[in-house]
Structure 1
Amino acid sequence: MVSSVPPSYRGHRYPVEVVSHCVWLYFRFPLSYREVEELMFQRGVIVSYETIRRWCAKFGQAYANGLRRRHPRPGDKWHLDEMFIKVNGVQKYLWRAVDQDGNVLDILVQNRRDKAAARRFFRRLMKKTGTVPRVVVTDKLRSYRAAHREVMPSVEHRSHKGLNNRTENSHQPTRQREHAMKGFRSAGGAQRFLSAFSGISPHFRPHRHLMSAPDHRAEMTIRFAIWDQITGAVSRPTTD
């Protein structure tokens, strides 16, 4: 078990259970801050959407980091892909890497998808994970091949559109959130949100289609217990 100290809530009027529940709602479901405010009001908790926004900005990344510290060591097969996103009406590119188990290794919002962008993402990945993969799987974007030869020439590189479905599937929740948020307002804001989102959302998305209902409930019970530990919540609000 990886130990981690929950973030400090000193100076906050609301208990940790309320704070962590609001952050969970926002990052787990395609909800706006106002919709989270409404859900909490229905349950008798009066908190403004602006306060919820500040909580998500302050604690979202801390919670995501706590969850990532509990992940096993990254697998040795990395899947990389990029997708376009709209930032204040301008097209940007979201680069994402997952291992063979579907764990998100990192995401990066960049202006381009050329060799320099691919090289930057490769180097960032190796620095963040502290390891070098055995295999890198990408689509046929030429930038990957050029950057691969320069940054990690000893690593096997497989380039094929059909081999990279794992990463492309991991983009789907991001696309849902982008639509719900009607795009992102700034590149920095997109990076901050998606960095926390990619750490929190997958934690509550086990492979449901591979589980029976009892197994899924048991797995979610474990995952909520981990969430309570990393947030410092003693108990969660019920969903009755």
Structure 2
Amino acid sequence: MKQPRISYKNYRFPPQIIAHSVWLYFRFPLSLRLVEEMLLERGIVVSYETIRRWGKKFGPHYTHRLHRKQPGRDDIWRLDEMVISINGRKHWLWRAVDQDGYVLDEIVQSRRNTKAARRLLKRLLRKQGMAPKRMITDKLRSYGAARRQLMAHVEHRSHKGLNNRAENSHVPLRKRERVMQGFRSPGSLQHFVSIFSAVRNLFVPPRTSQSAFQIHLHRLGAMAEWKTMTEALA
């Protein structure tokens, strides 16, 4: 099914600059002011607030058009949660990655219990369209309870040492959290991570790409897809 075109009508800057600005902000640990400075070095005078509005407006359009990795019955889901303080209150970002480190889904919730774990699994089953071969988590009992309710036939391995890949997936967001000096609301966090992880999924090479040449080819292909998807070809 052909995607509708992205409308850049009534925007003073060309699509190439808008798409490049959104890419810089979500791809690298840069603040909006640093992106503004990098563009200024190229002779592009645009405020950080304009870049923020571009990310809010076009980021969801871009991620909706990105190519999703097709699910498989041999997939392994690795689930973990990270705590994030927003306005002095604790929230948890629940995340699922597959065996290659590809982020499958994320959801911000105010609880760390069985209901929250079940909500994540429901979203995953709806998005992926099938259950995984295996589920790996830490020792949090909520995962096991939620699995028994929704997909009791799926093998579940619960061990902190087995879940390093899911835990490591939190590191890039932690870096962004420090650069951005935190998030203002659960909604803004959910909006940001949905775009941030989709961009990372596109640009970070899979674990099977080990050589420098393979990584180089992957990045070139990702850049070409980004330009095509954003309709920002020169």
Q: What is the TM-score normalised by the length of structure 1?
A: 0.91
Answer yes or no: is the 8 Å Cα contact 2:100–2:207 preserved in 1: no
Cα shift readout 1:168-226 (whole Å, capped 9, x = no counterpart): 11111011111111111100000000111110123222258953333322221111001
Are 1:14 and 2:43 an aligned pair? no
- Aligned letter for 2:197? S
**Equivalent residue for 2:182?**
183
Runs of 4+ deviating beyond 6 Å: none
- Aligned letter for 1:38? E
Query: What is the alpha-carbon distance in structure 1 between the residues aligned to residue 44 and residue 78 of structure 2?
Result: 42
**Equivalent residue for 1:71?**
69
Query: What is the alpha-carbon distance in structure 2 between the residues aligned to residue 27 and residue 81 of structure 1?
Result: 22
Aligned length: 233
Answer yes or no: is the 8 Å Cα contact 2:91–2:110 preserved in 1: yes
**Equivalent residue for 1:238?**
none
Identity %, equivalent residues: 52
- The alpha-carbon deviation at position 71 of structure 1 amounts to 2.3
Q: Which of structures 1 and 2 has the larger relative contact order (alpha carbons within 8 angstroms, sep 6+)? A: 1
**Equivalent residue for 2:37?**
38
Deviates more, 1:168-177 or 1:85-94: 85-94
Answer yes or no: is the 8 Å Cα contact 1:93–1:111 preserved in 2: yes
Query: What is the alpha-carbon distance in structure 1 between the residues aligned to residue 206 and residue 172 of structure 2?
Result: 14
Provide the alpha-carbon RMSD of the alignment: 1.8
Structure 2: give runs of 5+ residues left out of the alignment.
none
**Equivalent residue for 1:135?**
134
- Aligned letter for 2:81? E
**Equivalent residue for 1:192?**
191
Structure 1: give runs of 5+ residues left out of the alignment.
236-240
Cα shift readout 1:80-109 (whole Å, capped 9, x = no counterpart): 110111212322111000111211110001
- The alpha-carbon deviation at position 9 of structure 1 amounts to 1.4
1:70–1:150 distance in 2 versus 1, CA, 3 Å: closer
- Aligned letter for 2:94? W
SS of the residue aligned with 1:116? helix
1:19–1:175 distance in 2 versus 1, CA, 3 Å: same
**Equivalent residue for 2:226?**
227
- Aligned letter for 1:187? P
Answer yes or no: is the 8 Å Cα contact 2:203–2:218 preserved in 1: no
Deviates more, 1:5-14 or 1:50-59: 5-14
SS of the residue aligned with 2:84? strand
Q: What is the TM-score normalised by the length of structure 2?
A: 0.93
- Aligned letter for 2:124? L
Answer yes or no: is the 8 Å Cα contact 1:126–1:132 preserved in 2: yes
**Equivalent residue for 1:111?**
110
- Aligned letter for 1:20? A
